[in-house]
Amino acid sequence: MSTSDTLVVGSGIAGLACARALHDAGVAVRVVDRGRVVGGRLASKRLDDRPVDIGARYFTVPDGSGFASVVDDWITRGLVRPWTDTFWVYATDGSHEPKSGPMRYAAPAGLRSLATDLADRLQADGVPLDQEVDVAGIPEGGDVLGSRYDTVVLAMPDPQAKRMLLPGSIAAASLADAGDWQPTITVVARWRERLWPADLHGAFVDGSEVLAFVADDGDRRGDGAPVLVAHTTAPFARAHLEHPESAVAPVVEAVGALLGLSEAPVSTSAHRWTFSSPATQHPDLFLLSGGDGAAPGRTDRAGGVRVGVCGDAWGARSAVSTAWESGTALGQALAQP
């Protein structure tokens, strides 16, 4: 059995950021993911010969965040564009008003392209990164996939990480259960032509049993395609998780009623996210437990493999920037002697 320092399970932005911080500090690291492609919830799907963002809606850059330098580089290379600082807020009676906030950023090639960029750079630097690799659990000795690891990082939602840890461990007890995470169903709909106002950009929907947010994906990507992407409320999603395609008709009806659309879309698609976002946030940036069951935040190594957990649930609010900051902070902590 070979030995390697750190295994990162999950190739979303948190896992990729953690791997980058470890590699830059000289720590041997391998990244694996059970999915076919990198990105996690930074997800895009190709529909009607164009990428559509079906996971994260956009991202922001908090003041003072180290994420800013990453985003600046993406902007310079044309991978990212400033999208809008203003969304509409709709009531169910159709009344609406604009609401300004921080600049939201989008990716012309879809948000997954940003994860692909991070992954490509890691691989160019010699970091092994393998997709379609399923890790069922983390044994106490750290023996995973034919190698013995000093540290295993679980860069994924709490309920998925919890299933991989030893029952009764302090690390597992520190993670939220499935009921503490919110699901959503994303419905993509393409119309024959644009039938909504050019300044829609995106809209939060208050008081709807069906809709939480609607994005103009053509505006978001900058190609003007007549495509809307609707994200449902958590209660509605729970009722349709087993058969997400059953959500399409009521979502399209709700979008049409909200925006006054008289025509039906020419194509639709649905994607479920069982663990879309945490109901509550952890105050710490990451969890790090030693093999002796040390409390989160400690870096004790006695007794077995260290286990770290990172992602958008660790920090002030669930966001792409939070996931990056969480993964980076965990990687830097793990690199400390």
Q: What is the 3 state secondary structure string of the chain?
A: CEEEEEEEECCEHHHHHHHHHHHHCCCCEEEECCCCCCECCCCEEEECCEEEECCCCCECCCCCCCHHHHHHHHHHCCCCEEEEEEEEEEECCCCEEEEEEEEEEECCCCCHHHHHHHHHHHHHCCCCEECCCCCCCCCCCCEECCEEEEEEEEECCHHHHHHCCCCCCHHHHCCCCHHHEEEEEEEEEECCCCCCCCCCCEEEEECCCCEEEEEEHHHHHCCCCCEEEEEECHHHHHHHCCCHHHHHHHHHHHHHHHHCCCCCCCEEEEEEEEEEEECCCECCCCEEECCCCCCCCCCCCCCCCEEEEECCCECCCCCHHHHHHHHHHHHHHHCCC
Residue 112 pLDDT: 97
What torsion, rounded to 10 degrees, do the Cα atoms 95, 99, 103, 108 define? Answer: 10
pLDDT tens-place string over residues 145-184: 888 899 999 999 999 999 999 888 888 999 999 999 999 9
Spatial separation of the C-alpha atoms in residues 212 and 90, rounded to whole Å: 10
Q: Are 282 and 323 in contact (CB under 8 A)?
A: no
Structure tokens at 321: 């920037």
State whether CATH 1.10.287.540 applies to domain 82-106+180-279: no
* Banded pLDDT at 303 (limits 50, 70, 90): very low
Residue 300 pLDDT: 36
Average pLDDT of 304-312?
93
* Residue 294 scores a pLDDT above 50: no
pLDDT tens-place string over residues 92-148: 788 999 999 999 999 999 999 999 999 999 999 999 999 999 999 998 778 898 888
Of 30-34, 134-138, 201-205, 223-227, the one with minimum mean pLDDT is 134-138
What does the domain layout of the chain look like in residue ranges? Answer: 1-56+111-176+280-337, 82-106+180-279
pTM: 0.93
Residue 48 pLDDT: 87
Of residues 294 and 240, which shows the higher confidence score? 240
* 101 burial type by CB count under 10 A (0-12 exposed, 13-18 middle, 19+ buried): exposed
Closest among 279, 255, 315, 309 to 60, alpha carbons compared: 315
Strand partners, 129: 31
Tokens 């659990």 belong to: 137
* Residue 291 scores a pLDDT above 60: no
Residue 4 pLDDT: 58
C-alpha to C-alpha distances, 24 to 18, 21, 85, 327, 331, nearest whole angstrom: 10, 5, 34, 13, 9
Identify the sign of the CA torsion 1, 135, 67, 332.
Answer: negative
Residue 298 pLDDT: 38
Fold match flag (1-56+111-176+280-337 vs 82-106+180-279): no
pLDDT tens-place string over residues 36-92: 999 999 999 998 889 999 999 999 999 999 999 999 999 999 999 999 999 999 997
First-to-last CA distance in the chain?
25
CATH topology of domain 1-56+111-176+280-337: FAD/NAD(P)-binding domain (3.50.50)
Spatial separation of the C-alpha atoms in residues 27 and 56, rounded to whole Å: 30
* 66 burial type by CB count under 10 A (0-12 exposed, 13-18 middle, 19+ buried): middle
The percentage of residues in the chain with a pLDDT greater than 70, rounded to a whole number, is 95
